[in-house]
A and B are shown apart, each in its own frame.
Chain A
Amino acid sequence: MCSRPEELMTLDTHVGVATQAQLPICGRCKVRPVQFRVQESFCAECFIFQVCLKFRVAIGSSRPFEGGTRGGRLPPRTAAPAHLRLPSLRRFAVAYSGGFGSTVLLDMLLDQSLVALRRRPTDSTGALATVSPDDCPIGLLGGDGGNDPRRAVRPPTRCLVLHIDEHASYLGTPAAAYGPFAVGLAEHVARFQSHAVFVCAPLELVLDRELPCEADLVAFSQAATLQQWYATSEDGAIPTHPASSRRSHQPRMSVRALEALAPALDGPRTGDGPSAVDASPGPLGRLGSLRAQLREAFAACGSVSARDDLREQLRWLLLRRLSRAFGCNLLFSGDTKTTLASKTLSLCALGRGFMLPVEAGADDWRETDFLVTRPLRDVSTKEACIYSQLRGIPSLPASLPLGMCPAPYIPGQGNSSLIGLSNAFIARLQQEFPSTVSTVTATALKVTTDAEHFDPAAGPMKPCLLCLAPVPEADIQPTVGTRSPIGALAEIATTERLCYGCRTLISECD
């Protein structure tokens, strides 16, 4: 879920307009007065330009598609693994949590007025330089066969803006509390309706082998429909099983947890097509029972850390499935430099360091025909927040129910998670040592593991059943099933296809 970065608690986000006589001049344009300082001194326009520039440079360095060499003037991407097969951009999706990062990402990708920022504004009046309306930031993704990239990439269909509704995984959050937030997201994306289609997918859909078709899900995600659905949705009985922080002295597979997750683990992974419309209620009609199953799975988690980790894995599993099912082969993630720094620490703490270059790096290549990229990896959350204010984007995270944010560490209370602790630690350390975030993200980009050479089609590493991460041979251990499971569970219990992090996660389930 989107984060509330603790560093913003102390950030003075007041951006006022100072008179020229009071403040020095912006070091970039040498025209307008400085309005605030974020590592450097900026006026508002130059700050927006600088953030957009970071975004464009990050996009340009990806170039994942064959022929995406800007007419041969730039070498192809050298860091892409050899097995990657992305011939062209079919359609792209944007993972939209409503946080500062993904909101800024959406704005940069879809707001055509930003196209005008291809040149640094130099006009003393602050007017932006005008450019051809055919220019599009998305064109930096690269083209097909070396054509002019500015015209080559114009998605034939509207891009997909995907939001995963996770409120059911927070056991104390009723649907009615989440409704205003989801409706706010739908209304915000409606501004870009000519370029984007908004999809709000409940997390419990990951448990169904069948996905709704795009038309059904888009209709479900309309603001009016969402408002009615959340207002009338019945939460049903919320499991009261006390979450125990005790771990059994012998790590074991929790059959109860596996039973709840089996459809997610055993469902089709590639080429999910739209479901056939038949007489039986589709996945949207089964949301009630799916939600109950999801809550059972999360109630079985033995700790807050396990719940946060499981939520993260299921979220990305659903994002990938939906993106692929609806014809996308590229997914943009709004992870900022700050969130990537926190993620670096939390991945290590969760035992997922093997995936560090993939999950906290520039791109995620774990699937050969599908790419997840992070174009805001050079933008801090603070910069994203200021950008949002300057661009007049409504502050959506403020409407998120409090119980859905990773809990910071409170001594004496057992409600802290590894992810929440990492967020709080990075924010605290960044205040004392301002280069911490930059250093940690740079470190994550410099180290590598065998995960980067993973080819699912070639051995010996095989993808983890839950997170699709490669499982190195050294991490394969016999799992212990408590009794003879049926169907998908037999496969899970005997093929040992869970990575170290997911095995630790499942073993924490009661």
Chain B
Amino acid sequence: MSKCHLCHERPPALKRPKDGSFVCKQCFLDIFEEEVHQTIVSNKLFRPGMRVAIAASGGKDSTVLAHVLTRLDARHQYGVHFSLLSIDEGIAGYRDDSLAAVRRTAGLPPLDPLGLPLEVVSHAELFAGWTMDRVVQTIGQKGNCTYCGVFRRQALDRGAARLRADLIVTGHNADDIAETVLMNLLRGDIARLTRCTAIVTHTSGSDGPGDVPVVPRCKPLKYAYEKEIVMYAFFRRLDYVATDCVYSPHAYRGHARVFLKQLETARPSAILDIIHSGEALTTARQGTRLPTQGVCSVCGHVSSSRVCAACQLVDRLNTFEIPAVMDDAMPR
């Protein structure tokens, strides 16, 4: 293994977790970007003139995503307009640092790396002042991921509406999607299981009072391993925040994550194999009850019930009634 497997010139700098090949730094950067480009092209994610909002949390995935998309756009001329969209959940000591990293990525003074417009949407402004710190203070350490996830998803739609975006791109990587497949299997969430591996998730628009258009989302990093994203960020010397959410240790997803890491140790291709398996599970058996999509009667957002989950959660928080049914720690 004295030479890179791709260029056969330079000495290898790393072993790719995906296929075990030994590649040099430059070849790794090139092939990583090329694979993302192939994902974009083969799935026809972009079209000229689109406004694309990059969901940026300041973490490694979204930071790498923003940099890769900017470089690919310059190289292949996608003809799209990128902007950064960040959600402030209101977690002191965690979100502050990551938002600062997003601002540096966007190019706010004093640095100017990407020069992208940045829109920050906060939970406090959208959900009657309910930041995650306040939510955890009210309900405790269990079940808070449910609130954060529901609020953040709707906040992304609202932020994208402000940017007049046609598409939201998120930094979900192969590890995230494999974890989601496992988690949905363990929790019996058939509806999510049949769509969680889709690279583009569409949700229909809506008509009605307080109408909020729902923007499609895609995952260009769907086949990128988390380890390779870390290596890319390291080689490119990208500025990101690497800390975990302070409220995440009790999340059910943690069990799936630990299991996935063990599987990856036994067979590195297990992550892509799980995604491949999840892609095959695209339909539910006839007669299985699945939620039907409608519109929230309060805010107009897409919802599988009369009142959307976000409005229900806000209502419960306001009345200090926290039922156990939304406990994120227990499988349904």
C-alpha gap A429/B186 in the complex (Å): 9
Shortest beta-carbon distance from A432 to chain B in Å = 8
Q: A354-B280, A421-B263, A442-B188 are in contact. Are A447 and B270 (CB under 8 A)?
A: no
Whether A445 pairs with B285 at a CB distance below 8 angstroms is yes
Whether A303 pairs with B266 at a CB distance below 8 angstroms is yes
The 8 Å CB contact of A436, one of B20, B186, B269, B283, is B186
Q: A247-B20, A439-B186 are in contact. Are A356 and B277 (CB under 8 A)?
A: yes
Q: Chain A residue with minimal CB distance to B289?
A: A446
Q: Chain A residue with minimal CB distance to B278?
A: A353
Shortest beta-carbon distance from B105 to chain A in Å = 33
- Does any Cβ of B come within 8 Å of A488's Cβ? no
Shortest beta-carbon distance from B35 to chain A in Å = 14
| Interface size band for B | 35 or more
Q: A305-B267, A418-B263, A443-B193 are in contact. Are A348 and B331 (CB under 8 A)?
A: no
The 8 Å CB contact of A448, one of B16, B19, B283, B331, is B283
C-alpha gap A500/B279 in the complex (Å): 12
- Does any Cβ of B come within 8 Å of A345's Cβ? yes
Whether A447 pairs with B186 at a CB distance below 8 angstroms is no
The 8 Å CB contact of B276, one of A251, A416, A418, A500, is A500
Q: Please give, as numbers and ranges, the residues of chain B lying within 8 Å of A357 by CB-CB distance.
A: 285
Whether A249 pairs with B21 at a CB distance below 8 angstroms is yes
Whether B21 pairs with A344 at a CB distance below 8 angstroms is no
Whether A304 pairs with B276 at a CB distance below 8 angstroms is no
Whether B185 pairs with A345 at a CB distance below 8 angstroms is yes
Q: Chain B residue with minimal CB distance to A251?
A: B19
Q: Please give, as numbers and ranges, the residues of chain A lying within 8 Å of B267 by CB-CB distance.
A: 303, 305, 349, 418, 508
Q: Please give, as numbers and ranges, the residues of chain B lying within 8 Å of A345 by CB-CB distance.
A: 182, 185, 259
- Does any Cβ of B come within 8 Å of A350's Cβ? yes
C-alpha gap A250/B285 in the complex (Å): 37
- Does any Cβ of A come within 8 Å of B13's Cβ? no
Q: A356-B281, A447-B193 are in contact. Are A304 and B266 (CB under 8 A)?
A: yes
- Does any Cβ of B come within 8 Å of A449's Cβ? yes
- Does any Cβ of B come within 8 Å of A103's Cβ? no
- Does any Cβ of A come within 8 Å of B284's Cβ? yes
Q: Please give, as numbers and ranges, the residues of chain B lying within 8 Å of A304 by CB-CB distance.
A: 266
C-alpha gap A446/B284 in the complex (Å): 6
Whether B190 pairs with A354 at a CB distance below 8 angstroms is no
| Interface size band for A | 35 or more
Whether B193 pairs with A351 at a CB distance below 8 angstroms is no
Q: A491-510: which residues lie under 8 A (CB-CB) from chain B?
A: 500-501, 504, 508
Interface-central residue, A249, A417, A429, A440, by most chain B CB under 10 Å: A249
C-alpha gap A439/B193 in the complex (Å): 13
The 8 Å CB contact of B20, one of A246, A352, A409, is A246
Shortest beta-carbon distance from B260 to chain A in Å = 9
- Does any Cβ of B come within 8 Å of A229's Cβ? no
- Does any Cβ of A come within 8 Å of B187's Cβ? yes
Whether B262 pairs with A446 at a CB distance below 8 angstroms is no
C-alpha gap A349/B265 in the complex (Å): 12
Q: Please give, as numbers and ranges, the residues of chain B lying within 8 Å of A446 by CB-CB distance.
A: 188, 190, 284-285, 288
Q: Please give, as numbers and ranges, the residues of chain A lying within 8 Å of B259 by CB-CB distance.
A: 345, 421, 425
Whether B280 pairs with A356 at a CB distance below 8 angstroms is yes
The 8 Å CB contact of A344, one of B5, B185, B331, is B185
Shortest beta-carbon distance from A423 to chain B in Å = 12
Q: B311-332: which residues lie under 8 A (CB-CB) from chain A?
A: 330-332
The 8 Å CB contact of A418, one of B184, B190, B270, B280, is B270
Q: Please give, as numbers and ranges, the residues of chain A lying within 8 Å of B332 by CB-CB distance.
A: 439
Interface-central residue, B187, B255, B262, B265, by most chain A CB under 10 Å: B262
- Does any Cβ of A come within 8 Å of B101's Cβ? no
Whether B280 pairs with A247 at a CB distance below 8 angstroms is no
- Does any Cβ of B come within 8 Å of A189's Cβ? no
| B residues at A contact (CB < 8 Å) | 5, 16, 19-22, 181-182, 184-188, 190, 193-194, 255, 259, 262-263, 265-270, 272-274, 276-285, 288, 330-332
Per CB-CB distance, the 10 closest pairs between chain A and chain B, nearest first, are A353-B277, A249-B21, A351-B273, A348-B277, A354-B280, A439-B188, A443-B188, A447-B281, A247-B20, A353-B280
Write 9 A-B pairs (CB below 8 A) sorted by A numbering.
Answer: A251-B19, A353-B274, A433-B330, A446-B284, A447-B193, A447-B284, A447-B285, A448-B284, A448-B285
For the complex with contacts A251-B19, A348-B278, A440-B186, 10 further pairs of A-B residues with Cβ separation under 8 Å are: A250-B19, A305-B266, A351-B272, A353-B278, A409-B266, A421-B262, A443-B184, A443-B185, A447-B194, A447-B285
